């Protein structure tokens, strides 16, 4: 028996790549899976039957799954994903926010429409679906939520200002929701994945066949981290990086700094620049003041 047996799991953007790998593994472990995917292209255009194909694969293997093809960036569409889970399976236990698109350009060449669209899908879309699921989890005093961040947000990546901003936004949302969810046994974590998918195949220098990704970069190698972050003993407020079978944690650190008081000015700031900026003795989290 798996601890995910009969858990109701929603995975957005699960028609391919990392989301598909998550969906197949939850299905294999006995979960009831809601496979959400608009089915469009990497840039978010069009619709397709990607969700249906993943549902078919789960059912063929003996699992339980339904498809939802709504866009997470549409408030009513995002709400319908959770409504479908409740209508068919009665509740929602686990939510993995995975849906995303790319509109990569250097910031100088990026249009504000390209900025808005990427932020709408990644950041707003995750908030919309999470908000719908949150009400249910809050009342039942149980929930596990994963927000998908990225190294582009945490560390930066050229040509992805829109994507990186949205992905770093996931960290901020996690930090707050982990606090708000704690009294109700809702645990919220971030995944920063790396894998060979349709999306990463569009990045210059990384061209490959997304239908036959390199084994060392298989999307399935990301899924163990997601299972951990949605398990009964899951942490909360943790960001785990997972790529190619390597797993690590990323966290915010702060130093003790220097109190300059009400007479602080530019000159005194410069005089104390070393203790203000030196991170040698920094610790994880925010230092007490």
Catalytic residues: 163
C-alpha closest to that of 78 among 9, 10, 178: 10
Q: Note whether 86 and 92 are within 8 A (CB).
A: yes
The crossing angle, in degrees rounded to 10, of helices 50-60 and 17-28 is 30
DSSP class of residue 74 equals: S
Exposure class string for 187-207: b at 16+ Cβ within 10 A, else e: bbbbbbbbbbbbbbbeeeeee
Q: Which residues contact 273 (CB under 8 A, 6 or more apart)?
A: none
Dist CA 289 CA 279 (whole Å): 16
């Amino acid at each position: 028996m798996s601890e995910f047996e009969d858990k109701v799991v929603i995975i957005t953007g699960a028609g391919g790549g990392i989301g598909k790998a998550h969906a197949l593994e939850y299905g294999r472990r006995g979960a009831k899976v809601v496979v959400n995917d608009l089915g469009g292209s990497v840039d978010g255009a069009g619709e397709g039957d990607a969700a249906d194909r993943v549902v078919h694969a789960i059912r063929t293997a003996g699992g339980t799954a339904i498809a939802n093809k709504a866009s997470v960036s549409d408030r009513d569409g995002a709400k319908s994903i959770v409504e479908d889970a409740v209508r068919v399976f009665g509740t929602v236990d686990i939510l993995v926010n995975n849906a995303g698109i790319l509109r990569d350009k250097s910031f100088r060449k990026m249009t504000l429409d390209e900025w808005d669209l990427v932020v709408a899908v990644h950041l707003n879309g995750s908030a919309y679906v999470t908000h719908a699921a949150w009400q249910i989890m809050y009342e039942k005093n149980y929930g596990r939520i994963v927000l998908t961040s990225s190294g582009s947000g945490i560390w930066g990546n050229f040509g992805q200002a829109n994507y990186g901003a949205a992905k770093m936004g996931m960290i901020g949302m996690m930090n707050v929701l982990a606090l708000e969810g704690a009294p109700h046994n809702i645990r919220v974590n971030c995944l920063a994945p790396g894998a060979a998918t349709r999306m990463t195949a569009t990045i210059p220098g990384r061209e490959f066949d997304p239908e036959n990704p390199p084994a060392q970069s298989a999307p399935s190698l990301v899924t163990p981290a997601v299972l951990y972050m949605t398990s009964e003993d899951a942490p909360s407020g943790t960001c785990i990086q997972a790529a190619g079978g390597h797993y690590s944690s990323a966290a915010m650190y702060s130093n003790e700094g220097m109190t300059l008081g009400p007479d602080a000015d530019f000159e005194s700031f410069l005089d104390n620049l070393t203790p203000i900026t030196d991170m040698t003795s920094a610790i994880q989290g925010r230092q007490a003041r």
